[in-house]
Amino acid sequence: MELTVHLFGPAREAAGTARARVDLEPPVTGTAVIAALSARYPELAALLPRSRVAINHAYVDAATTLGPDDEIAIIPPIGGG
């Protein structure tokens, strides 16, 4: 299943792109997407364990199963002060 993953903030900067494509065998979970992104973008790997997965504009557990039409986003931690 080919999916587009939207990357924001530091994740976008680390990968050098706002959208990443991953191709995975179903069933696909957020954990599998994170693993695929880590392999494809090593510079992003350190940030991913601290990031959240959002599916269709809602945060989900990384173990959530994804469908082919789901919108997937990786939301890195946001610093502030």
pLDDT at 12: 94
Task: Report the C-alpha gap between 45 and 27 in whole angstroms.
Answer: 22
Domain extent for 7: 2-75
DSSP, collapsed to helix, strand or coil, labels residue 38 as: helix
Dihedral angle sign, alpha carbons of residues 39, 74, 76, 9? positive
Give the pLDDT confidence score for residue 78 in this predicted structure. Answer: 76
Q: How many domains does the chain have?
A: 1
Pairing between β-strand 28-29 and β-strand 58-60 as defined by DSSP bridges: unpaired
pLDDT-flagged residues of the chain (< 70): 79-81
What is the predicted pLDDT for the residue at 77? 83
Q: Tell me whether strands 2-7 and 72-75 are parallel, antiparallel or unpaired.
A: parallel
- In this structure, what token pair is assigned to residue 53? 């997965």
Residue 80 lies in a domain: no
What share of the chain has pLDDT > 70, as a percent?
96
Are residues 37 and 44 in contact, defined by beta-carbon separation less than 8 angstroms? Answer: yes
| Residue 81 falls inside a structural domain | no
The CATH code of the domain that includes 54 is 3.10.20.30
Query: pLDDT, tens digit, for every residue of 16-30?
Result: 999 999 999 999 999
pTM for the structure as a whole:
0.88
